[in-house]
Amino acid sequence: MSALQDQSGSTAGVVVSGVTKLYGATKALAGVDVAFRRGVVTAVVGANGSGKTTLLRVVSGLLDPSSGQVEGPSGRPVTGLTSAQDAGIVLVPQEPTLAGHLTVWQNVSLGRPEAASGPFLRDRAARRFAAEHLEGLLPASVLDQVTSTLNKSSRQLVQLAAAMARKPIVLMLDEPTAVLDEDGVLALHALIRRFVGEGGTVVIVSHRLRDVLELADDVVVLRNGLVNHTGPVTPQTEHQIVRLLSAEERDNRPAHRPDRGHVVLEASGLRGWRGLSVDHLQVYAGEILGIAGQSGSGRSRLASVLAGAHPAEGQVAVEGSTFKLGSIRSAQAAGVAYIPEDRQVTAILGNQSVSANLLVGREDGVIRRGPFRRRAAERQEAADLIDRFEVRPRDPDRHAALLSGGNQQKLVVGRALSRKAKVIVADEPTQGVDASARGAIHAALASAAAEGSAVIAVCSEFEELFELCDRVVVVRDGAVVLDRPIAQVSQDEVLASSLGSHLPDSVEENPS
Ligand SMILES: Nc1ncnc2c1ncn2[C@@H]1O[C@H](COP(=O)(O)OP(=O)(O)OP(=O)(O)O)[C@@H](O)[C@H]1O
């Protein structure tokens, strides 16, 4: 960290002056003036598409601003990637940039002179170098693992170790906690506190209010590419942010659902895929079943088998008819809609329009009459979905790749929920979306259940689990270890069973 201590007494880490960024007619940044202080964590919050990622990319030299300028910690202007790197500005992006086929130690050490001789890594030195930077984030046992075999949370922590290995003075984090499990969040928070304690500057983009309130000293709220509010985090901040972010007052509570109906999905004897072992699971019409568990527990594996996205032994039936496990097509034909976890990789057709992404695969009477597609009806349906799921900008013809991360996610969710499926399997349905869209997605899942669908949602956040679901199953080591109505279980019990630990007797006697 000597680079940090070498800095002059100035309190300004980064100064952004009059920065605009245009993408054709879209003004992603419309004249941003903001300073990120040294020794301080600044949270940047705002609705999906408000310009947060664009601001981080401009500051870290990945994007040239259309006008305005950025000054780094030494007071020198940042004019591109190299000058940002020279200024010690390091970005950890939303989408991981690791080389999946390399080991963890190779990814952390890549490009570091301390670990190389010429263009080649010195294996022992590089491994030692990587181990130092991984400490406190992940156990040393992962050093030799091929990075693509790690779960998302661990990959994100490797990305963070690789960023710290670049000896940053300014650390820019774009949604770092979106994919982290609870341990990962704690490790990240500890690392950030240490780093700012030594004089570093941290800028963190996050949709999780918890990050802002627990971690940040300053907060910057962006709205439509402009700074809408900036100031210290105080006890009033939570209320202020929620008010500033919700475009309109909305009732986020799910609609009332009737009592659950008949069995819609029934799984039995599921075996395989890294120890998955579920004897029997039923999901009923009108209910939202939450799947909880630690990262790596098998919660996402179970969801993807139920959705036909991964083969396994055993059977899954929808209203009595089995479909072919491992065949999404067969599951879809049986009435299953799937919102996968890695949606930007597996679900977005980047070079297709927003409207094509929303309507892909739709063959129902709204869209088609006999052999003909109904173009006007298609446009209307796409416009309705854009409104309902708050996709921004409201442009059905825009390439999906040009949307912000949260808005791409709304496309995948909107597509799945518009099909009137019998079963909806949603893996982290609100990951990365803003507070307002989160409410819209919860309401859409609740209304699908109210109309008789069986909804299955993988929830890593307790808040979402308890707000959204009627029943919870907890998965540990590939097996269901708890299955309970949500009204009869406490957060402590869910946590304890996911960890395989026991609660003190007094708590076990009084669940809820
Ligand atoms: N390469 C691009 N081409 C065209 N428009 C873009 C491009 N990248 C971003 N935009 C647009 O710029 C605006 C700001 O996007 P940005 O990714 O900065 O938002 P964000 O606040 O990070 O959103 P999120 O919370 O969803 O990640 C959006 O309207 C987006 O559609």
For the chain, domain boundaries: 2-245, 263-509
Question: What is the pLDDT, as a whole number, of residue 459?
Answer: 93
What's the mean pLDDT when you consider all of the chain? 86
- % residues pLDDT > 70 (the chain): 90
Atom nearest to 432 CA in ligand 1? 25
Chain segment 31-48, per-residue pLDDT in tens: 999 999 999 999 999 888
Instruction: Tell me the C-alpha to C-alpha distance, in Å, between residue 343 and each of 298, 328, 347, 358, 361.
Output: 18, 15, 5, 13, 17
Instruction: Report yes or no: 212 and 45 within 8 Å, Cβ to Cβ.
Output: yes
In the reported structure, the alpha carbon of residue 208 is separated from the centroid of ligand 1 by a whole-number distance in angstroms of: 19
Q: Residue 344 pLDDT more than 70? A: no
Give, using CA atoms, the residue closest to atom 18 of ligand 1: 51
User: 301 φ, ψ to 5°?
Assistant: -60, -45
Confidence of residue 343 (pLDDT cuts 50, 70, 90): low
**226 vs 210: CA distance, rounded Å:** 23
Distance between CA atoms of residues 323 and 315, nearest Å = 8
Q: Is the pLDDT of residue 119 over 90?
A: no
Residue 342 has pLDDT above 60, yes or no: yes
Average pLDDT over residues 458-483: 92
Least confident stretch, 101-110, 415-424, 427-436, 470-479: 427-436
Please give the number of the atom of ligand 1 that sits closest to the Cα of 29.
Answer: 14
- pLDDT band at residue 434, thresholds of 50, 70 and 90? confident
Ligand 1 contacts CB of residue 402 (under 6 A): yes
- Mean pLDDT computed over 494-503: 77
**What pLDDT is recorded for position 508?**
39
In this structure, the residue with its CA closest to atom 8 of ligand 1 is 402
Gyration radius from the chain CA atoms: 24
- The protein residue with its alpha carbon nearest to ligand 1, atom 31, reads 403
Q: What is the mean pLDDT of residues 355-361?
A: 90
Q: Which CATH superfamily is domain 263-509 in?
A: P-loop containing nucleotide triphosphate hydrolases (3.40.50.300)
Distance between Cα 359 and ligand 1 center (Å) = 22
Confidence band of 505 (pLDDT split at 50, 70, 90): very low
pLDDT at 507 over 80: no
**Distance of alpha carbon 284 from alpha carbon 472, whole angstroms:** 13
pLDDT surpassing 80 at residue 401: yes
Query: From ligand 1's centre to the CA of 56, what distance in Å?
Result: 11
Determine what percent of the chain is predicted with pLDDT higher than 90.
Answer: 54
Q: What is the ipTM of this complex?
A: 0.94
Residue 365 vs residue 154, higher pLDDT:
154
Identify residue 62 by its one-letter amino acid code.
L
Residue nearest to atom 6 of ligand 1 (CA): 402
Question: Does residue 352 have a pLDDT over 80?
Answer: yes
Q: Which helix (DSSP H) or strand (DSSP E) does residue 193 occupy? A: helix 182-197
- Position 2 pLDDT exceeds 50: no
| Fold agreement (2-245, 263-509) | yes
Ligand 1 atom having least distance to the Cα of 94: 27
pLDDT for the residue numbered 503:
54
pLDDT, average across residues 326-353 = 86
Per residue in 370-386, pLDDT tens? 777 778 888 999 999 99
**Which atom of ligand 1 is nearest to 403's Cα?**
31
CA distance 55 to 152: 25
Q: Which protein residue's CA is at the shortest distance from atom 27 of ligand 1?
A: 405
Q: Which pLDDT score, from 0 to 100, does residue 116 have?
A: 66
CATH code: domain 2-245 is: 3.40.50.300
Taking CA atoms only, the protein residue closest to ligand 1 atom 24 is 48
Distance 400 CA to ligand 1 centre (A): 11
pLDDT at 254: 44
Atom number, ligand 1, closest to the C-alpha of residue 392:
29
Taking the centre of ligand 1 as the mean of its atom positions, its distance from the CA of residue 404, in whole angstroms, is: 4
Quote the pLDDT of residue 249.
Answer: 35
Phi-psi region of 365 (alpha: psi -120 to 50; beta: other; left: phi over 0): alpha
Structure token digits, residue 193: 């506190």
Supply the residue whose CA is at minimum distance from atom 1 of ligand 1.
402
Residue 511, pLDDT > 70, answer no
pLDDT score at 7: 42
Q: Which atom of ligand 1 is nearest to the CA of 225?
A: 14
Closest atom of ligand 1 to 53 CA is 22
- In this structure, the residue with its CA closest to atom 12 of ligand 1 is 28
Atom of ligand 1 nearest to the CA of 54: 18
Ligand 1: residue whose CA is nearest its atom 19: 49
SS3 content of the chain, % helix, strand, coil (to 5): 35, 25, 40
Chain segment 65-84, per-residue pLDDT in tens: 999 999 999 889 999 999 99
pLDDT at 139: 93
**How far, in Å, CA of 139 to CA of 46, rounded?**
34
The CA 6 to ligand 1 mean position distance, Å, reads 35
Q: Ligand 1 mean position to 50 CA, how many Å?
A: 7
Average pLDDT on 237-244 reads 74
DSSP letter (8 states) at residue 312: -
Q: Is 52's C-beta closer than 6 angstroms to any atom of ligand 1?
A: yes
Mean pLDDT of 206-233: 88
**What's the average model confidence in pLDDT over 171-199?**
91
User: Higher model confidence: residue 265 or residue 178?
Assistant: 265
Range of weakest confidence among 23-27, 91-95, 105-109, 503-507: 503-507
Contact 503, 492 (CB under 8 A): yes
Instruction: Give residue-wise pLDDT tens across range 416-432.
Output: 888 889 999 999 998 88
How close is the Cα of 402 to the center of ligand 1, in Å? 7
Q: 393 in ligand 1 pocket by Cβ < 6 Å?
A: yes
Q: What is the pLDDT of residues 130-157, one digit of tens each?
A: 999 999 999 999 999 999 999 888 999 9
